[in-house]
Amino acid sequence: MKLLIPHSKPFLGEEEKRACCEVIESGQIAQGPRVEKFEKRFSEFLGMPQGVATSSGTTALHLALLALGVGKNDEVIMPSYVCSALLNATCATGAIPRIADIEPDYFNMDPEQVRKNLTPKTKAIIVPHLFGFPADMDRLLTFGVPIIEDCAQTIGARWRGKLIGTLAEVSIFSFYATKVMTTSEGGMVLSKSKKLIEKIRDLRDYDYKKTYKPRFNYKMTDLQAAMGIVQLEKLPFFIQRRREISSSYHNEFSNLKLGLPLTKSNPQAEPIFYRYILPIKKNRKIFEKNLYQRGIACTPPVDKPLHRYLKLSPTNYKVTEEVFKTALSIPIYPALTENEVQKIITAVKKELVKME
Ligand SMILES: *Cc1c(COP(=O)(O)O)cnc(C)c1O
């Protein structure tokens, strides 16, 4: 077996190591000054007035929903083609999830399908910007319902020149090991609304409160924040490198008869290419296995669409069903060496030509 190029891998170095060692030596390892500094630096990076760091993207989303007043008997709209974290955070509030199909060309939620799912009970819409591609915010913002931008896969991308995560009521981020930047596990909520942020800050931990109500322990630690501060300094390089690799892939793959690009975006969008997706119309399993044997780990980017979890009729989710059956994600991340990028290009081309 040849050395395997993993599907995802964090970009970590001496700087992260040193930052974490300093935290251990300081004796202050739980939530403290470094979390505060990370909140400040991260919100500044996006040009937002304030942020609250959390233990994960899921807990960030849970708190954002609660701060918007989402609860029992409310409805929350979200897309079908996304991980189950959205469903978990929504169900934890007691609200009912309403699932919308995605747009044919762009992976993201179809505003027309959102409109069909609107009811008087709709309290919020969760809009993930999937795979590094901004969703159609122009149309999604017209419904007059609070939007939570889910930027777990998309930091630094722009819509009409404006940064994703700054366009709606509130936005959430994930710093899980395989995301755009990492704190191992971690998350963040940003909002222009001071009131919303204060609510979220209050719900994040339980000590030193005047009155009782159910609260959580969703805190980030200084150990995680120290890593995050270093990663944030590297973020412009991470984004640039993702764009470079995707354009190398594009140049090599776009003249093959692949039905490319699945990796295209709205003309108003500047994506960051968190994922690079190949549409493998036939024998995707075999294609995946062949690449694995060439030393490259690929994977379908979403393991199970939400309408399937909820056992909703697949006829209402035609686009998701098609993408679910054909999409294959190949490695794209800043920790890839140029050698590895070339190896991936060669192997993918050989396998694609075999399929033609
Ligand atoms: C990863 C992810 C989440 C959840 O983040 P965790 O930190 O793993 O809890 C939510 N939404 C999207 C789109 C994600 O990719």
**How much is the pLDDT for 143?**
97
Top mutation candidate among 126, 153, 178 for ligand 1, by most atoms within 8 Å of CB: 153
- Bridge partners (DSSP) listed for residue 296: 5
HSE, CB side, 13 Å, CA atoms: give it for residue 118.
15
**How much is the pLDDT for 265?**
65
Both tokens of 249, joined, read 């892939």
Cβ of 187 less than 6 Å from ligand 1: yes
Please report, for residues 95, 98, 121, 233, 320, the alpha-carbon distance to residue 91 in angstroms, rounded to integers and kept in the order given: 6, 11, 15, 35, 22
Gap between the Cα atoms of 264 and 293, Å rounded: 28
Report the nearest-CA residue for atom 2 of ligand 1. 152
Report the nearest-CA residue for atom 12 of ligand 1. 152
**How much is the pLDDT for 260?**
54
Top mutation candidate among 65, 81, 176, 220 for ligand 1, by most atoms within 8 Å of CB: 176
Both tokens of 145, joined, read 């319902």
In ligand 1, which atom is closest to the CA atom of 129? 13
Candidates 55, 71, 96; CA nearest to 306 is 96
Gap between the Cα atoms of 105 and 109, Å rounded: 11
Contact 304, 87 (CB under 8 A): no
Candidates 57, 67, 113, 119; CA nearest to 89 is 57
Candidates 219, 141, 138; CA nearest to 183 is 219
Cβ of 82 less than 6 Å from ligand 1: yes
Cβ of 149 less than 6 Å from ligand 1: no
**How much is the pLDDT for 354?**
84
In ligand 1, which atom is closest to the CA atom of 175? 7
**How much is the pLDDT for 220?**
98
Question: Which residues have C-beta within 8 Å of that of residue 82, sequence separation ≥ 6?
Answer: 128, 130, 150, 302, 305, 306
Top mutation candidate among 150, 182, 189, 303 for ligand 1, by most atoms within 8 Å of CB: 150
In ligand 1, which atom is closest to the CA atom of 59? 9
Q: Is the dihedral of CA 29, 16, 128, 97 positive or negative?
A: negative
Question: Which residues have C-beta within 8 Å of that of residue 64, sequence separation ≥ 6?
Answer: 148, 170, 172, 189, 200
**How much is the pLDDT for 264?**
58
Per residue of the chain (356 residues), give pLDDT as tens.
568 999 999 999 999 999 999 999 999 999 999 999 999 999 999 999 999 999 999 999 999 999 999 999 999 999 999 999 999 999 999 999 999 999 987 899 999 999 999 999 999 999 999 999 999 999 999 999 999 999 999 999 999 999 999 999 999 999 999 999 999 999 999 999 999 999 999 999 999 999 999 999 999 999 999 999 999 999 999 999 999 999 999 989 887 766 555 555 678 899 999 999 998 988 999 999 999 999 999 999 999 999 999 999 999 999 999 999 999 999 999 999 999 999 999 999 999 888 77
According to DSSP H, which parts of 9-56 are helical? 14-26, 33-45
Cβ of 57 less than 6 Å from ligand 1: yes
Gap between the Cα atoms of 51 and 57, Å rounded: 13
